[in-house]
A and B are shown apart, each in its own frame.
Chain A
Amino acid sequence: MTNYLDFEKPLAEIEGKAEELRALAQQNEEMDVADEAAALDRKASELLEELYKELTPWRKCQVARHPERPHCRDYINELFTDYTPLAGDRNFADDIAVMGGLARFNDKPVVVIGQEKGHDTKSRISHNFGMARPEGYRKAVRLMEMADRFGLPVVTLVDTAGAYPGKGAEERGQSEAIARSTEMCLQIGVPLVSVIIGEGGSGGAVAFATANRVAMLEHSVYSVISPEGCASILWKDSTKMREAAEALRVTAQDLELLGVADRVISEPMGGAHRDRQATMQSVGSAIGSMLSELEEMSKADLVANRRQKFLNIGSKGLAA
């Protein structure tokens, strides 16, 4: 059963009808519905194309948060081998909103780290919906530091609504943990590449995405605040999220213009979840080519490249 977003309702109707027809035909052998069903399929795919041709920023936010969208775990399982999760921050706990460990990418050893949102109610709760606590960032710091010592490239997969706003998280230094993670991103002398696979939510995302190369999936978003949050502060009306998403420039396309994203990875028609295999392949090849761009660089150059990249960001604005 597909999950449809609100703007996909008309599509849901057509695809639902086609499904019903086929189900009927299965029960009743005399019925010939092939032509009719095929026509509906055609209509559905035309509509899908129409809907996704120019997604508004708010619709992109919805696609980026789609419950069936491939998550960190899916990419790790599909694109990496020998994945060996490493747990804990060595201080307080293991935060499984962040997953990470040693793995091989194209046979070469790397450290992979990312936020995992979970795929059903139970796993969503256990992963805290991908919203990390300080321990999650401190685990990332520990893994990046280890990668640095052993000369392993780091791949981060970003997908979070933001850092978790909780009492314990604050008491244990959420802000310090995020700051240290960003700091570690900026100082490791190994290639660091990042892919925003869904939501890049504020500081919680920056802590992982301060990388030499940042790629964004076509319908992923990256923002200083959620459109709903921005709407409730600046418009004093949280239902103005469409306007806020527009004004904030949260899309991969705008962020490429602003120099925040280095590349945009195309998604299958209708979003990453409609063809997971194709999505995996594109993301895999983007990671591969970003890593190879950095392969020859010295430790010092990798650090300098990363710092300069961020110092330069914003110097031109949109220049539109």
Chain B
Amino acid sequence: MNWITNYVRPRINSIFSRREVPDNLWTKCDECGTMLFHRELKGNQNVCTQCDHHMSISPRDRFEALFDGGVFVEVEVPEPVADPLQFRDQKKYPERMKAAQKKTGEKEAMLVAEGDIGRTPIVVACQDFSFMGGSMGMYVGNAIIAAAERAIKLKRPLVLFSAAGGARMQEGILSLMQMPRTTVAVQMLKEAGLPYIVVLTHPTTGGVTASYAMLGDVQISEPNALICFAGPRVIQQTIGEKLPEGFQRAEYLLDHGMLDRVTKRTELKGELVSIIRMLMGMSPAVAGDLPAPEVTVDSPEAPENESQDAKSD
């Protein structure tokens, strides 16, 4: 009998428990067309080594790259009522959910974790665009509230990576209500005097942009990310004129005073550590790569969602 079966403890995810990806995989950069060796691409956080194009990255892969030694502990998110409106279009909502879960190996469109980056303790929430377009429904709202509450409890800053086509239509008005709900979460952080840093990634649009993704103390974006309320197609239809080059891209927003910084993914960790340590009144970070923190516990059974191929498209 295994003593550990009755012992509930946080799920530790580490780079060591990840299934190894076969080395003979190649990915074509959708920007410059270069064939990139999978391991090389992953080592560069899905940024093309030829043209710097930022491809999408799953929350789990991002966390592995971000947290020291790839070690993080997931923060539990309260489960909302499933399919609250009994919504069906051409498919039933639960069927769409199942398909998204199968495709991503994740439960929902946001992952929350705590851990250290550059030996700086933080809580991170990361939206998953490959899960139904990262759309914001009750779960994503609950995840942001849980992330804020956890950050407040631990007196840590919250870093949020946004990526979404907007609200989860299948949850109707309840998806819209995540705008005020997540805003309450941001206000709780602000009242606790904790930094809230938003990293906008491609694409962040609609109601997500018009709530928690625009309320950060510091607003950073990855290069060339599309960031908007109304999408370019809708605007083009409405005004009937051609939109300028780079319209609604990160650099355009930076020019128009809507962002603090546009930062490459590969430089993001260092920048976050530096900003957070200043905002938190901590001593300067130690430069260079840090050794992985010691992992003393490891899960005997792999988390169920890692048995599937977590493939992003």
CB–CB A234/B89 < 8 A = yes
CB–CB A165/B230 < 8 A = yes
- Chain A, residues 242-261, CB within 8 Å of chain B (1/0): the string is 01100111100001001010
| Complex: chain B residue closest to A234, CB-CB | B89
CB–CB A248/B210 < 8 A = no
CB–CB B173/A260 < 8 A = yes
Pick from A179, A202, A222: contact of B183, CB below 8 A: A179
Task: Report the Cα distance A169→B247, complex, angstroms.
Answer: 12
The answer to whether the Cβ of B201 comes within 8 Å of any Cβ in the partner chain is no
Which listed segment binds B: A27-35, A74-82, A170-178?
Answer: A170-178
Pick from A164, A173, A314: contact of B81, CB below 8 A: A314
Interface residues on B, range: 35 or more
CB–CB B179/A206 < 8 A = yes
Within 8 A of B (CB), among A222-236: 222-225, 230, 233-235
Within 8 A of B (CB), among A153-173: 163-167, 169-173
Q: Which residues of chain B are near A315, meaning CB under 8 Å?
A: 80-81
CB–CB B258/A176 < 8 A = yes
The answer to whether the Cβ of B121 comes within 8 Å of any Cβ in the partner chain is no
The answer to whether the Cβ of B152 comes within 8 Å of any Cβ in the partner chain is no
Q: Which residues of chain A are near B173, meaning CB under 8 Å?
A: 222-224, 248-250, 255, 258, 260
Q: With A183-B186, A249-B85, A311-B145 given, is the CB distance from A166 to B80 under 8 Å? A: no
| Complex: chain A residue closest to B208, CB-CB | A175
Q: Which residues of chain A are near B248, meaning CB under 8 Å?
A: 170
| Complex: chain B residue closest to A181, CB-CB | B210
CB–CB A313/B177 < 8 A = yes
Least Cβ–Cβ distance between B95 and chain A, in angstroms? 13
CB–CB A170/B181 < 8 A = no
CB–CB B211/A182 < 8 A = yes
Q: Which residues of chain B are near A260, meaning CB under 8 Å?
A: 173-174, 177
Q: Which residues of chain A are near B141, meaning CB under 8 Å?
A: 314
Task: Report the Cα distance A250→B172, complex, angstroms.
Answer: 8
CB–CB A166/B179 < 8 A = no
The answer to whether the Cβ of A150 comes within 8 Å of any Cβ in the partner chain is no
The answer to whether the Cβ of B305 comes within 8 Å of any Cβ in the partner chain is no
The answer to whether the Cβ of B169 comes within 8 Å of any Cβ in the partner chain is yes
CB–CB B177/A174 < 8 A = no
Pick from A180, A185, A203, A247: contact of B172, CB below 8 A: A247
The answer to whether the Cβ of B90 comes within 8 Å of any Cβ in the partner chain is yes
Least Cβ–Cβ distance between B186 and chain A, in angstroms? 7
Least Cβ–Cβ distance between B311 and chain A, in angstroms? 24
| A interface, CB within 8 angstroms of B | 163-167, 169-176, 178-180, 182-183, 185-187, 202-203, 206-207, 210, 222-225, 230, 233-235, 243-244, 247-250, 255, 258, 260, 307, 310-311, 313-318, 320
| B interface, CB within 8 angstroms of A | 80-81, 83-90, 138, 141, 145, 167, 169, 171-177, 179-181, 183-184, 186-187, 206-207, 209-215, 227-230, 234-235, 238-239, 241, 243-244, 247-248, 256-258
6 of the cross-chain contacts (CB-CB < 8 Å) are: A175-B228, A182-B179, A223-B173, A225-B167, A260-B173, A307-B184
Task: Give 13 new A-B contacts, CB below 8 A, not counting A174-B230, A179-B209, A183-B215.
Answer: A163-B230, A167-B243, A170-B248, A176-B214, A180-B215, A183-B187, A206-B180, A206-B207, A210-B179, A223-B173, A224-B173, A311-B181, A314-B141
